[in-house]
Structure 1
Amino acid sequence: MEKLQKALEKARGQRGGTKAPDLRSHSKQSHLRGKTANAAVKAPLSLWDDLTPYEPNPDLLLRNRILTLNSEAEANPFDVLRTKVFLLMQENGWTRLAITSPNKDCGKTTTACNLAIGFSRQRENRTMLFDFDLRSPAVADMLGRKPNHGIKAMLTGDVPPKDQMLCLRGNVALSLGNMAISDPTQLLLSKHTADMLDKVQADFAPDLMIFDLPSMFAADDARAFLKNADCALILARAEHTTMAQLDTCERQVAEYTNVLGIVLNSCRHADVEGTYFGSK
Structure 2
Amino acid sequence: MEHIQQALDKYRKSKQPEAKVATQKTKKFPDEQAIVYAKTKVHAANQEVMKERRVVSMLKHDPVAEVFRMLRTKVLKQLRENNWNSFAITAPTQGAGKSMIAANLAIAMSMEVNQTVLLVDLDLRFPKIHWYFDLQVEQGLSDYLTSDIPLSDILINPEGYWLSGIKNLENDIPLSDILVNPGFERLVLLPGRGQVTGSSEMLSGPRMKSLINDIKNHYESRIIIFDLPPVLVTDDVLVSMDYFDAALLVVEEGGNKPEEVTKALRMLSGTQLLGTVLNKSQAMPDHQGYY
TM-score by length of 1: 0.76
| Superposition CA RMSD, Å | 2.0
Out of 273, 278, 281, the position equivalent to 1:259 is: 273
**Amino-acid identity (%):** 25
1:177 aligns with 2:192: yes
SS at 2:126 equivalent: coil
Write out per-residue CA displacement over residues 161-215 of structure 1, whole angstroms, 9 at most, x where no aligned residue: 2221001334111000121112211111123312211112222445210000000
Of residues 238, 253, 261, the one that matches 1:223 is: 238
Aligned letter for 2:264?
C
The letter for the 2-side match of 1:123 is V
What residue is the counterpart of 2:59 in the other structure? Answer: 70
Deviation at 1:272, TM superposition (A): 6.6
Q: Which residue of 2 aligns with 1:133?
A: 123
Check whether the contact 1:161–1:200 (CA below 8 A) recurs between aligned residues: no
Aligned length: 228
Q: Is contact 1:128-1:206 (8 Å) kept?
A: no
Structure 1: distance between partners of 2:119 and 2:250: 17
Larger-gyration structure (1/2) = 2
Q: Is the 1:95–1:207 Cα contact (8 Å) retained in structure 2? A: yes
Give the Å deviation of 1:70.
Answer: 2.7
Deviation at 1:50, TM superposition (A): 2.2
Q: Hey, what does 1:268 align to over in structure 2? A: 282
Q: Distance in 1 between matches of 2:77 and 2:43?
A: 27
| Residue 119 (1) aligns with residue 109 (2) | yes
Q: 1:59 aligns with which of 36, 43, 48?
A: 48
- Compute the displacement of 1:104 (Å): 1.1
Report Cα offsets for 1:81-102 as digits up to 9, x if no partner.
Answer: 0111111111101111110011
* Structure 2: segments with no counterpart, 5+ residues: 1-33, 149-171
Shift of 1:134: 0.4
**Residue type of the partner of 1:233?**
L
1:149 deviates by 1.7
Write the letter of the residue equivalent to 1:139. I
The aligned counterpart of 1:202 is: 217
2:19 equivalent in structure 1? none
Instruction: Give ranges in structure 1 of 5+ residues lacking alignment.
Output: 1-43, 274-280
Q: Distance in 1 between matches of 2:114 and 2:274?
A: 23
Alignment of 1:1-280 (within 5 A): 48-73=37-62, 74-156=64-146, 158-167=172-181, 168-255=183-270, 257-270=271-284
Distance 2:263 2:228 in 1: 17
Q: Give, in whole Å, the separation in 1 of the partners of 2:252 and 2:51.
A: 20
